[in-house]
Each structure stands twice: as structure tokens, then as C-alpha cells.
């Protein structure tokens, strides 16, 4: 006998884990609206799951589906950007990202100052990954570092910048 996933199961997952799911997807996708769309789709996929007994953890399965959908979406975004770049020939192309954030000039200056407080390698890895949007592998290659070191630098710089921006907002 197969047991399908019930709507009430999905509701429970949503109640207990939706916030974490959105945070996880936002980390992957850099966009709140994309994160919400992908989360919706993941819940829908859960409903069409037929052999529930093969899944040990519904939560684990939800995050797995969401993670795969996020990978698909990133791949599509990449294709779209490459196509746009080709269309524009040698004109400079700004990578399209779903939402543009306007940051106040003062905030950008604050951020810049926070970055100068870091070791040059940390700020370089951070700007290349977070601002330029290059993946860890590409940054590692350019900087002649291991990916593990790049991740370490990026994490440190991100934490430092978050802490500095917080100080400014909550003196």
C-alpha cells in the first residue's frame, strides 16, 4: 500500500520550517522573491510524492527538493545572463538579478571602510564572490588559494561587515 503525503503534513512543515526554508533558499539565490517562488514549488512537489515510506524525514526531503530547484533556477539565470551578454556584444553587461537593492551612499561608504579593516585577501575574496558574483572555484583560481581558504575569508569578511553595519544602525 502506498501512503501519499497529506495536505496536513505540508501545513505542519510550512508552520515549523518555512522560515528556515526561505532563509536557506535566499542564501542560495540571493533574492527573496525567488526564494519564495522556489519554496512554493517545493511544497507542491511534496504533495505529488507517492511513496512516503521511502522517505525517512519529510523535512529533509523538502530541503532536498528545494535545493535542487534552486540549482535549476541558478542554471537558468546563468544561461539568460550569457545570452544577454551575447546579444549586447562587447557592451558592458550588468548581471541581471531579480531584485535590485538601492543602498544609500553612506552605507556603501561604511561598507567600504569595513572592508579596508580586513586583510586584503579577505576583502578581495569577499568582493569577488559576494559583489561580483563569481563562484568559490573561480575566486580560488584567480587568487591561487584553496576553495576552503576562500570560503574562510568570505565568511570572515561577511561577518565583519554585518557586525559593522549593525553597529552603525544600532549605536
Partner 1 sequence: MAKSKHDEIVYAAADWWVRLREPGAADETIEQWLAWTGEDERHLATFERVTELANQLGSLDNVSRQGLIKAFARPVAAPRRWMPLAAAAAVAVVALSGGYLAWTRFASGNASQVYASAVAQNRDITLPDGTQVALGAASTLTTHFTHGQRRVELSNGEAFFQVIHDNSRPFVVAAGDVSVRDIGTAFDVRRTGQRVTIAVTQGRVEIADIRQKAAAGQHGTLDVSAGQLVSYDPHTSSMTIGSIAPEQALAWRSDRLEFIDEPLSVVIANLNRYSTRQMHISDTDLDTLSYTGTIHTDAIDSWLSALPQVFPLRVSTTGNQVILSDAEHSSRR
Binding-site ranges for partner 1 (CB under 8 A): 17, 19-20, 23-24, 26-28, 30-32, 59-60, 63-64, 67, 70-71, 74, 90-92, 94, 97, 99-103, 105-106, 108-113, 115, 120, 123-124, 126-128, 130-133, 136, 151-152, 154-156, 158-159, 161-163, 165-166
The least distance separating partner 1 from the CB of residue 23, rounded to whole angstroms, comes to: 5
Nearest Cα to Cα of residue 45 among 65, 72, 21, 17? 65
Of 1 and 86, which CB lies nearer to partner 1 in the complex structure? 86
**Cell reading at 96:** 541581471
The least distance separating partner 1 from the CB of residue 47, rounded to whole angstroms, comes to: 21
Burial per residue of 128-157, b for 16 or more beta-carbon CB atoms within 10 angstroms, e otherwise: bbeeeebebeebbeeeebeeebbbebbebb
The least distance separating partner 1 from the CB of residue 104, rounded to whole angstroms, comes to: 8
Of 50 and 101, which CB lies nearer to partner 1 in the complex structure? 101
Of 85 and 111, which CB lies nearer to partner 1 in the complex structure? 111
**Cell reading at 8:** 496536513
Radius of gyration of the chain (CA): 20
**Cell reading at 166:** 549593525
Of 46 and 161, which CB lies nearer to partner 1 in the complex structure? 161
Torsion sign over Cα 79, 80, 84, 87: positive
Amino acid at each position: 500500500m502506498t501512503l501519499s503525503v497529506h495536505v496536513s503534513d505540508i501545513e505542519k512543515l510550512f508552520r515549523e520550517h518555512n522560515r528556515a526554508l526561505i532563509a536557506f533558499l535566499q542564501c542560495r539565490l540571493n533574492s527573496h522573491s525567488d526564494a519564495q517562488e522556489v519554496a512554493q514549488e517545493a511544497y507542491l512537489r511534496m504533495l505529488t510524492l507517492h511513496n512516503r515510506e521511502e522517505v525517512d524525514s519529510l523535512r529533509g526531503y523538502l530541503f532536498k527538493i528545494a535545493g535542487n530547484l534552486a540549482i535549476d533556477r541558478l542554471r537558468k539565470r546563468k544561461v539568460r545572463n550569457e545570452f544577454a551578454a551575447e546579444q549586447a556584444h562587447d557592451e558592458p553587461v550588468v548581471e541581471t538579478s531579480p531584485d535590485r537593492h538601492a543602498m544609500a551612499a553612506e552605507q556603501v561608504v561604511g561598507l567600504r571602510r569595513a572592508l579596508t579593516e580586513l586583510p586584503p585577501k579577505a576583502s578581495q575574496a569577499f568582493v569577488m564572490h559576494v559583489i561580483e558574483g563569481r563562484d568559490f572555484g573561480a575566486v580560488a583560481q584567480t587568487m591561487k588559494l584553496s576553495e576552503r581558504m576562500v570560503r574562510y575569508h568570505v565568511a570572515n569578511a561577511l561577518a565583519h561587515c554585518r557586525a559593522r553595519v549593525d553597529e552603525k544602525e544600532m549605536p
